[in-house]
Amino acid sequence: MATVRTLPVGADFILTHHAKSYDYISPSKLDLTGQHVLITGAAHEDGVGYATATAFARAGASRIACCDLHGISDDIITKLKSAATLANRDEPLVLGYEVDISSQESVKAMYNSIAEEFSGRLDILVNNAAHMEPYKPFLESDPDIYWRTWEVNIRGLFNMARAFLPMQLSSYSKSRSSCIMMNVSSSGALSVHPGSGSYRSSKLAVLRWT
């Protein structure tokens, strides 16, 4: 029987993987007072988007908008406000939106609302929302579901950047504050696993696009 040799991939280059934060990078050490932030894919308390929004709240961001395909619950909004006050920050304005980032029309509707609520200012955009197709052999996969991953992970990122980057650049030209766009990829971009080719290739594309 032939021996299958596993080649090292990008995810193997890091010897120690960390799953917990530490005090040196605590958001409480930052002061983002006056900053306006938008995070996509922030509906779930166990997700990266919610954790990111919580960190911005603890760092003192004054206005935080969160969106998700499934909307943002009142409970999430309340917890983000509490995260700020528990960190001895002023309570921020927190907005929640139900948005399909793969749809230009859906993104445009959110843009119009945020432009009004944020007085035309956006300092930081975190493109976190993503989709992963079910694990299946390629020939058993549904083409529409397979391609949906790219529609969200790549076209969605494109739609968000096209809509909000002009607002960010305009904000920076006026205030000389932050002008940051963070595109969240995944360790899946640097590893291989049968049955998830669409997700992993799309996340690699995020790295190359960024």
DSSP conformational letter for 125 = E
Return the residue matching tokens 């995260």.
83
Residue 50 tokens, joined: 């919610």
Q: What pLDDT does residue 28 have?
A: 87
Q: What pLDDT does residue 84 have?
A: 97
Q: What pLDDT does residue 195 have?
A: 74
Could you tell me which of 49, 32, 47 has the C-alpha nearest to residue 87? Answer: 32
CB 149 within 8 A of CB 202: yes
Residue 137 tokens, joined: 């052999």
Interhelix angle 48-58/74-86, nearest 10 degrees = 40
- Cβ-in-10-Å burial (0-12, 13-18, 19+) of 87 comes to middle
Could you tell me which of 161, 173, 176, 170 has the C-alpha nearest to residue 125? Answer: 161
Q: What kind of architecture, by CATH, is found in domain 31-132+155-192?
A: 3-Layer(aba) Sandwich (3.40)
Q: What pLDDT does residue 11 have?
A: 65
For residue 202, the SS3 value is helix
Q: Can you tell me the distance from the alpha carbon of 178 to that of 122, in angstroms, rounded to the nearest whole number?
A: 9
For residue 16, the SS3 value is coil
Q: Can you tell me the distance from the alpha carbon of 99 to that of 43, in angstroms, rounded to the nearest whole number?
A: 11
Q: Can you tell me the distance from the alpha carbon of 36 to that of 20, in angstroms, rounded to the nearest whole number?
A: 26
Q: Can you tell me the distance from the alpha carbon of 135 to that of 127, in angstroms, rounded to the nearest whole number?
A: 24
Q: What pLDDT does residue 8 have?
A: 67
Q: Can you tell me the distance from the alpha carbon of 138 to that of 125, in angstroms, rounded to the nearest whole number?
A: 34
Residue 109 tokens, joined: 């509707």
Q: What pLDDT does residue 9 have?
A: 67
Domain spans of the chain? 31-132+155-192
- Residue 119 belongs to what H/E stretch? none
In order along the chain (210 residues), what is the average pLDDT of each group of 10 residues? 58 74 86 95 94 97 97 97 97 98 98 97 96 81 89 96 95 82 86 80 89
pTM: 0.88
Q: Can you tell me the distance from the alpha carbon of 70 to that of 9, in angstroms, rounded to the nearest whole number?
A: 34
Active site residues: 199, 203
Helix, strand and coil content of the chain, in percent to the nearest 5, comes to: 50, 10, 40
